[in-house]
């Protein structure tokens, strides 16, 4: 595992996106890079772990704290990152109460293979989509809510529904209902006696 430090000259955008944080029980990790962006040009890689932001240790940062720390940097942003060259796991230095590893006082994060696979899947899931394809997280949400069997309405169905709606709001029946509702509301609010 190699630790490296970069300083990106401001102003933002810095050209990367993070995922994880103490609130997600995952280390802060670079999840996306803007092609040709400042972070990519500095050699940051997707999957690199954030060790510190400026002088602040990132091990106990929530996702929002990390975002705020990065947003606060105006002229330059200094990051210490960790890139995995080869698997490293030191049982003697591992702290069970944390989700990281300390070697020579520097926090380093060692996710298991499941975490790495999830990170790669999540990162690939953020790629732009064409047409009406859905992200994996959206499909999972649809399965949880029981709406995965529903289809997106086609253009013709949407057009018919819109025409029906416009016809209904122009009808005398709608006008009577609207007037009744306004009068009833005015009485309830003691505006009209």
pLDDT of residue 70: 94
Phi, psi of 48 (to 5 degrees): -70, 140
- Per DSSP (E only), the strands in the chain are 2-9, 16-21, 26-33, 49-53, 56-57, 76-83, 101-103, 106-108
d(CA 52, CA 61): 9
Structure pTM? 0.46
d(CA 121, CA 19): 13
pLDDT of residue 94: 40
Q: Is the pLDDT at 191 greater than 60, yes or no?
A: yes
Residue 94 DSSP one-character state: B
State pLDDT tens for residues 49-89.
999 999 999 988 999 999 999 999 989 999 999 987 543 44
Pick the closest to residue 69 from 127, 109, 21, 113 (CA basis).
21
Question: Using an 8 Å Cβ cutoff, are 27 and 82 in contact?
Answer: no
Can the peptide bond before residue 13 be classed as cis, meaning omega within 30 degrees of 0? yes
Burial of 74 (0-12, 13-18, 19+ CB in 10 A): exposed
State pLDDT tens for residues 112-165.
566 666 666 666 555 555 555 666 677 777 777 777 666 666 677 778 888 888
Instruction: Give me the residues paired with residue 106 across strands.
Output: 103
């Amino acid at each position: 595992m190699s630790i490296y430090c970069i300083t990106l000259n401001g102003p933002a955008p810095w050209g990367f996106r993070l995922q994880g944080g103490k609130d997600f029980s995952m280390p802060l990790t670079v999840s996306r890079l803007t092609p040709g962006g400042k972070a990519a040009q500095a050699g940051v890689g997707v999957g690199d772990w954030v060790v510190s932001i400026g002088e602040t240790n990132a091990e106990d940062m929530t996702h929002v704290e990390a975002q705020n720390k990065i947003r606060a940097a105006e002229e330059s942003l200094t990051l210490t990152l960790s890139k995995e060259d080869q698997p490293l796991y030191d049982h003697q230095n591992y702290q069970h109460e944390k989700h990281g590893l300390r070697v020579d006082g520097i926090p380093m994060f060692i996710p298991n293979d499941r975490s790495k696979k999830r990170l790669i899947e999540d990162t690939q899931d953020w790629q732009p989509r064409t047409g009406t394809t859905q992200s994996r997280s959206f499909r999972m949400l649809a399965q949880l809510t029981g709406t995965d069997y529903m289809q997106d309405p086609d253009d013709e169905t949407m057009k018919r529904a819109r025409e029906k709606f416009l016809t209904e709001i122009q009808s005398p029946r709608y006008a009577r209902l609207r007037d009744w509702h306004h009068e009833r509301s005015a009485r309830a609010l003691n505006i009209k006696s």
